[in-house]
Amino acid sequence: MTTVAVDVKTLVIDGQNVSARAGQTILEVARENSIDIPTLCHLDGLSDVGACRLCVVEIKGNNKLLPACVATVEEGMEVTTTTERLTKHRRTILELLFAERNHICSVCVSNGHCELQSLAQSQGLTHVRLPYRNPQLAVDASHERFTIDHNRCILCTRCVRVCAEIEGAHVWDVMGRGIDSMIISDLHEEWGKSSCTRCGKCVQVCPTGALFDKSKIGSDHPKYPDFLPYLNLMREAQ
Amino acid sequence: MSKLKLATVWLDGCSGCHMSFLDMDERLIELADFVDVVYSPIVDTKEFPDEVDIALVEGAVASVDDERKIRKIRAHSKMLIAMGDCAVAGNVPSMRNPFGPQAILDRAYFENADLQQQIPCVVVPQLLKVVRPIHEFVKVDVFLPGCPPSADTFHTALTALITGAPLDIPALTRFGA
């Protein structure tokens, strides 16, 4: 009989004693224990990049806020997921996202199914205190089946990751830096002329109306990203 | 108890918020026990009164006239409520912002006009360069997002504001609702 040594860490999240395996992220452990931490760029089944910072948490004895999606658990850690300070930061992040591009929920293909929109509601955001930037951005409808509307893009990079990690095509990437960053296909070519395999995974994982199916314009357009963990599981089993 | 003075105003919006307000239907009659509508697109008063208790403002600020109005409304209202996404966030009227007012005037009065192509310059107010939500001009006390906020949202929010009961707006409505 063989035994496998599991390195177990015990820690406290929101006053609750929990145990975890070494190497697990705070987010994983919190969700296993039904503790909700808001996320936006994280998606089960994709690698984590810690880009949106919505999942920041407080750690006792540490002045820095840590992104729960990439911070791993440590023995004796005391994590707090909801404080006035965190709520303030999360709201500000959402306000920055809304102000940065043109998010007009009422006329968006994802109205009612958008993660940015529902996060605004769950985080108690009723208005944006920052002036809107109103940039002039392109809509690329050159693809036969799908459209990318950069006005709605929040640069979460889920599309980039799903295309590279799951589909293996790596059509999407990020061009430019900071506020000028843009999602591009191939080396900044029209999506319709790119090496896209037409699988549509990027559309399903996009949290907003930035990527959408042309056949869904003017109708209900929920996204179904739940296939990812199953797909990974089936691949691992092979 | 004397009735509260309620005003409703229509800036750059589609009137959908007012329609939704009217969708309170028979609940408007209950509401009339607590408020007098002293100014509104649906009453005859032409000038915004000097003293208003609650002002519900629909629409974004898009013209010099809107800006003059919102400053006057603020000066004469105890409580100012941004009603709907245009007032709260700019919404559809703000979709012209990336292009500027000249581009849309050209589109409407030249490109799409067959006769008498000219940009109106008398009577109609001059457009502002950028359409903005009302809180970028004046202090707003309550934000009611939604396109439009539902009649239930109006009823719950107004009832709470009139009676002083606690009001949880994100539980009622959201952007684009």
Helix residue ranges, H only, chain A = 26-32, 84-100, 115-122, 158-161, 201-205, 227-237
- The answer to whether residues B32 and B40 touch, using CB atoms and an 8 Å cutoff, is no
Q: Does B172 touch chain A (CB under 8 A)?
A: no
Residue B28, min C-alpha distance to chain A (Å): 25
Angle, CA of A19, A70 and A117, to the nearest 5°: 105
Do B135 and A106 make contact, defined as CB atoms within 8 angstroms?
Answer: no
Structure tokens at B89: 């966030």
Query: Of A143, A52, A134, A138, which Cα lies nearest the Cα of A99?
Result: A134
Q: Burial level of B2, CB count in 10 A (0-12/13-18/19+)? A: exposed
**Predicted pLDDT of residue A238:** 76
Question: Is residue A110's pLDDT more than 70?
Answer: yes
CA dihedral sign, ordered B147, B153, A120, A118? negative
Residue A100, min C-alpha distance to chain B (Å): 12
**Predicted pLDDT of residue B26:** 97
Residues A143 and A150: their CA atoms lie apart, in Å, by 14
Question: Is residue B63's pLDDT more than 80?
Answer: yes
Query: A-chain residues within 8 Å CB-CB of B85?
Result: 105-106
**Predicted pLDDT of residue A20:** 97
Residue A126, min C-alpha distance to chain B (Å): 6
Per-residue pLDDT band for B1 (boundaries 50, 70, 90) equals low
**Predicted pLDDT of residue A65:** 97
Do A132 and B132 make contact, defined as CB atoms within 8 angstroms?
Answer: yes
Q: Does B58 touch chain A (CB under 8 A)?
A: no
Residue B51, min C-alpha distance to chain A (Å): 26
Q: Burial level of A200, CB count in 10 A (0-12/13-18/19+)? A: middle
> Is this prediction's pTM over 0.90?
yes
Q: Does B15 touch chain A (CB under 8 A)?
A: no
Structure tokens at A199: 């699988």
Which residue from B94, B98, B136 is facing A135, i.e. has the nearest CB? B98
Q: How are strands ordered across the β-sheet holding A211-213?
A: A139-140, A146-149, A211-213
Percent of chain B with pLDDT over 70: 99
Q: What does DSSP say about strands A8-13 and A16-21: parallel, antiparallel, or unpaired? A: antiparallel
Average pLDDT over residues B39-50: 95
Helix residue ranges, H only, chain B = 16-22, 27-31, 64-75, 85-89, 101-106, 151-163
Question: Is residue A237's pLDDT more than 90?
Answer: no
Residues B139 and B80: their CA atoms lie apart, in Å, by 8
Question: The tokens 């003017």 sit on which residue?
Answer: A218
**Predicted pLDDT of residue A145:** 97
Query: Of B68, B49, B77, B90, which Cα lies nearest the Cα of B140?
Result: B77
A–B CB contacts, 8 A cutoff, strictly below: 72
Residues B109 and B115: their CA atoms lie apart, in Å, by 9
- Whole-number average pLDDT of chain B: 96
Per-residue pLDDT band for A1 (boundaries 50, 70, 90) equals low
Which residue from B88, B94, B174 is facing A121, i.e. has the nearest CB? B174
Average pLDDT over residues B62-75: 98
- The answer to whether residues B1 and B48 touch, using CB atoms and an 8 Å cutoff, is no
Angle, CA of A41, A45 and A47, to the nearest 5°: 55
Helix residue ranges, H only, B13-140 = 16-22, 27-31, 64-75, 85-89, 101-106
Structure tokens at A137: 């951005």
Residues B59 and B8: their CA atoms lie apart, in Å, by 11
Chosen from B129, B137, B175 to mutate, greatest number of chain A CBs within 10 A: B175
Structure tokens at B174: 């959201």
- Whole-number average pLDDT of chain A: 96
Q: Does B10 touch chain A (CB under 8 A)?
A: no
Query: B-chain residues within 8 Å CB-CB of A131?
Result: 132, 136
Q: How are strands ordered across the β-sheet holding B142-144?
A: B35-39, B4-10, B52-58, B77-83, B142-144
Do B170 and A124 make contact, defined as CB atoms within 8 angstroms?
Answer: yes
Residues A223 and A226: their CA atoms lie apart, in Å, by 9
Q: Does A105 touch chain B (CB under 8 A)?
A: yes
Q: What is the DSSP letter of B92?
A: G
Which residue from A123, A131, A134 is facing B136, i.e. has the nearest CB? A131
Domain at B4-95+130-173, CATH from 3.40.50.700, 3.40.50.720, 3.40.30.10, 3.30.1330.10? 3.40.50.700
Residue A220, min C-alpha distance to chain B (Å): 14
